[in-house]
Every structure is written in structure tokens, then in C-alpha cells.
A = this chain, B = another copy of it.
Amino acid sequence: YAEVGKMATDDYVGFTFFVGCMAMMAASAFFFLSMNTFDKKWRTSILVSGLITFIAAVHYWYMRDYWATYMESPTFFRYVDWVLTVPLMCVEFYLILRVAGAKKSLMWKLIFLSVVMLVTGYFGEAVYTTGTGPALWGFISGVAYFAIVYIIWFGEAKKLAEQAGGAVLAAHKTLCWFVLVGWAIYPLGYMAGTEGWYSFVGELGLNMDVIYNIGDAINKIGFGLVVYGLAVAATSTSE
């Protein structure tokens, strides 16, 4: 048998890492195993939902152990995870809007912005961690974030969703709220975990990793469930 480490009973950060890891594994099994019950045209979307939680499950496995070993933020793994999963969420937006004729260029635009958001965030969190570094890089990251919000709420993506109408429009709207509110959890975590004019956030006793873990559970699993719900709605009306 493998040796199992002890977890302190009051290690709430470690607790969220463990719960998060298992939730991601279960969600992956759910999406992967249910995909074939849907119309062909929704299968890829469900599969991508499963890939997002699967990638997260693997990284949570590491992060959990990393945390248990060093009691330190696993920043490296966190960003490896995001740099794969966030672009996949952009793919998901594109897949959903394809029925309304979305072009690949929309997908690439969103992917590009999400990579800028994450690379600059990494700089602030792991490279330029002193003085004005985190605030500055976080700000640039935030600009890219708002560009994404703009495109899906008011720009090109919005127009396509309206053309599609029905269940697609409804799902798109929900996903828009995920990006505006759900994703906003992350900058909050960043403020709790880096130093800057906003250090009062960390002083409130908020922990960066707990916040990020909650954000991930909501955004990865929740996001996937919205897509799942769309496939359910669209499959039953087309029958």
C-alpha cells in the first residue's frame, strides 16, 4: 500500500484542495459518460466540458499534494491548469455559437485575450512580486479580462447568440454571467494573495487558495453543467 500523509483537521485550504480534486474527477466521469446520450452536434461541447474538469482533476491532484507537503500556494500548477482550461472555455463559447455561424476568428480572439490575461497575471503573482509589480500586472490582466467580458456581453458573440435564439441564447446568457461574476472571484483571490494598495483584502482573513478553489469549482463544473443543460434542452426539442 502507499503511505498516506496526515492532514491537519483545521487545514481548510487543504480541505478545499481535496474536495476540489474529487469533484473534478466526478464531474469528468459525468460528462464523459453522458456525452453519447446527446445529439451528435452537442457531443463535442460536452466532451470539452469533460476535458476541462479532467485537466483540473489532474492538476488538483498535484496541488493538493503540493499544499500538503509545503503549505505554500502551488502557483506554478495553478497557472499550468488555467492556461489550458481557460482557452478551452473560449472554445466552448465558439462551439455553442457555431450553430449561429460563429467564425474561428472569434474563438482565436477570445483565446488570445485569455492567454494575455493569464500570462500577465502570472507575472504579477510569481515573477514581479514586490512593490508595484502585482498591482501593475494585475491591472493589465484585468484589461484583457474586461475585453473578454465586452466581446461576449456586447460584441460579436452577443450578436451571434441573438441570431441563434432559443436555448442557445439562454445558455449564452448564463455563461455571460459566469464570466462576469464567476470569473471575478479570481481577481479577488489575487488581491488576497499578493501585495499592493489592496492589501486590506488579505487582511480580512481571506485566503487566496480557498478563493481560487471555490472559483474553480463554480466555473469549471458549473460552466460545464450549463452546457450540459443546453444539450438536454436542445436534444429534447429536436426530438
Binding site for B on A (CB under 8 A): 1-7, 9-11, 15, 18-19, 22-23, 25-26, 29-30, 32-37, 40, 43-44, 47-48, 50-51, 54-55, 58-59, 62, 64-66, 68-70, 75-77, 80-81, 83-84, 126-127
Contact = CB atoms under 8 A, between A and B. Distances in A.
B58 A22 contact: yes
Nearest to A19: B80
Contacts of A66: 4, 6
Contacts of A29: 32, 50-51, 54
B68 A19 contact: no
18 contacts: A1-B5, A1-B68, A1-B69, A2-B65, A3-B69, A6-B66, A6-B70, A7-B77, A9-B76, A10-B126, A22-B84, A23-B84, A25-B55, A25-B58, A29-B32, A33-B50, A36-B36, A37-B40
A84 B24 CA distance: 11
A83 to B, nearest CB: 6
Contacts of A43: 34, 37
Given A4-B66, A22-B58, 12 more contacts: A1-B64, A1-B65, A2-B65, A3-B65, A7-B77, A9-B127, A11-B76, A18-B77, A19-B80, A22-B84, A29-B54, A36-B36
A99 to B, nearest CB: 14
B10 A33 contact: no
Contact of A54 (B26, B40, B50, B58): B26
Which has the most chain B C-beta neighbours within 10 Å: A2, A4, A75, A126? A4
